[in-house]
Amino acid sequence: MTSLEKKVADLRETLHTYNYQYHVLDQPTVPDAEYDRLMQELRTLESANPELTAADSPTQRIGGQPLEGFNKVEHQVPMLSLANAFNDQDLRDFDRRVREGLGIEQVDYVCELKIDGLAVSLRYDQGIFQQGATRGDGNIGEDITHNLKTIRSIPLKINETSTIEVRGEAFMPKQSFLSLNKDKEMREEEPFANPRNAAAGSLRQLDPKIAARRNLDIFIYAVGKWEAGDLDRHSDRLTYLTSLGFKINPEWKKCQGIDQVIDYVESWVTKRDELPYEIDGIVIKVDRLDYHDVLKTTAKSPRWAMAYKFPAEEAVTTLNDVILSVGRTGAVTPTALLEPVKVAGTTVQRASLHNEDYIKEKDIRINDTVVIKKAGDIIPEVVRVIPEQRPKDAEPFSMPAECPSCGAELVRLDQEVALRCINPNCPAQLKEGLTHFVSRNAMNIDGLGEKVIEQLYDNQLVANVADLYQLKRDELLGLERMGEKSVSNLLSAIEASKANSLERLLFGLGIRFVGSKAAKTLARAFDDIDQLRAASRESLEAVDEIGKKMADSIVRFFAEEKVGQLIDRLRQVGVNMHYRGPKPTVNQEQSIFHNKTIVLTGKLEQLTRNEAKEKIEMYGGKVTGSVSAKTDLLIAGEDAGSKLTKAEQLGIEIWTEQQFIDQIDK
């Protein structure tokens, strides 16, 4: 080794040590200025001598041009998700299943904080960090090596020559999250909802320089592929990974039996807010690794581990008022107007009250102090009131007897909980119905959003869906934000929608209980709208997947005089009334697909997913979205993931796309 090579190698090693002390141990030993000086010296030497630049050099944490896209990575050992526990009994049931599966009285567990971030895998060959990937669907992830290298707590080099793949949770510390959102607000950009979204968004940037500015961190919690010698326990692996320089969350603990596990869980329910990062639960794992082999895994999760999920984050605020909205089907829904409050990282001003019975059951009153939470950390809802803080002016809320939009009497249909307006001319329902009619899965008229629909209705340009086809250019130009180009595009989209196949029209008409899938089934079975209008309940129920409830709704819908008038008007303006999709073949029963349940997965090269689905249905097959014991055939394209794995485990017949096409050609 020359003196120059030794100097570069020594600089790299020194910087690795300083980086580990600062970002993993949180114990810096030199000032930042000294670290920066040595880094600049290394950059200068490597720039002048490119042949001395190594993959594990600290200078390579941020480098190269932005990527054009992410490559797929297949995990050699699947990154399974964990089953969830929500209370003590769930944990005791887990412990009972483990003990019964092992035939022993007590099990040692390891408890770890469940970091709220993005699960990733890191692969090291000959001690050098080679590749990092997202979890993806558990079998196939995305290569984000360029972004993971910007996380300074990830070692670029470890003292282990065996191939090793570790799993961890990349996350954004609370302080970094606050700084990032403050910066976004200054630039008048939409802030991130929570640190998890911010971390995930950062790691999926094509430019690593953006990820580098986000100050991400990581905790390693497990291994995938392991060739680093025999270790008997998960706790031993955590200790060994720590010795290799990986950042392991220091709060993990060995627990003897489920009682100690529950004590550990309860201790963190109240302490979680004190941490400088977000956690959303506790992960419990059987410590002995040979027990993992005995207990095995299900298709989705290991039987030797469980994730205890903390209750959804709640907040206390004041309920200022209740407003009502009328949906397309006439259902009247109450919504609480709240004093703004932050819940799970977002400011909440409205929350669902579901229906009148819910309000009465919870005794929710205007001016009450209420507790709200995000159901699934997404949808805010009022969960309870705090009676002892109820003010004297709290007002009980009662649903009105009349529709807030049109004044018609509200009724309950078929013993439903919801109150409904059944006035067919209700403005709120008509607007919602128009919006539904032009939506993507219905007539798919681009340019007709809710605001445009509202303008058209309020200016008396449309009263029902047929009026959309008689709009004039001059009328549209008079609306807000509607210029020549927008109007031309909109009129073209309206004209093009006339040629849609019948199933889109049926779905767009909003027949109760008829979704897009049922609409296609009906269109294929009856071919044109006149035959469907004339169909009896018995003939409707004879169609596969059309039950009594849906058949009754269809008959009632077409019996309405106004519906007949509307269809006649749509026909007059040129809207297609026939099914134009692929039709079942006359020799379905001779087809290999007849009465078979088939799943499509992976990327198809010669057909789109919809084209393949239509061909299967044309020959009498049924396409479903998930693999089960009832699946007869799986057609797998490129990058097929967990569905392919499950099909193999269940012994289901598997075809390539070419085999499928060859069969169709026959």
CA distance 222 to 387: 46
Looking only at the bridges linking them, the beta strands covering 108-115 and 140-142 are unpaired
**C-alpha dist (Å) from residue 241 to 23, 105, 237:** 16, 30, 6
Query: In what helix (H) or strand (E) does residue 309 lie, and over which residues does it extend?
Result: strand 305-309
What DSSP string runs through 277-290?
S-EEEEEEEESBHH
Tokens 């490129």 found at = 638
Amino acid residing at 81: S
Q: For the chain, how far is it from start to end, CA to CA, in angstroms?
A: 68
Tokens representing 226? 């392991």
Neighbours of 150 (CB within 10 A): 22
Contacts of 542 (CB under 8 A, 6+ apart): none
Entry field: residues in the chain: 666
**C-alpha dist (Å) from residue 312 to 41, 71, 375:** 50, 35, 7
For the question of residue 114 being annotated catalytic, the response is yes
Tokens 């627990």 found at = 255
CA distance 526 to 544: 12
Give me the catalytic one of 6, 7, 114, 431.
114
Tally the C-alpha atoms within 13 A of residue 584's C-alpha that lie toward its C-beta. 21
**Torsions phi, psi for 605 (to 5 deg):** -95, -35
Sign, CA dihedral 340-341-346-351, equals: negative
Sign, CA dihedral 543-549-555-560, equals: negative
Strands (E), 126-269: 128-134, 140-142, 164-171, 217-226, 253-256
DSSP 3-state assignment of 21? helix
Dihedral, 382, 388, 394, 398 alpha carbons, nearest 10: 50
CA distance 4 to 50: 12
Tokens representing 48? 């002048």
Active site residues per annotation: 114
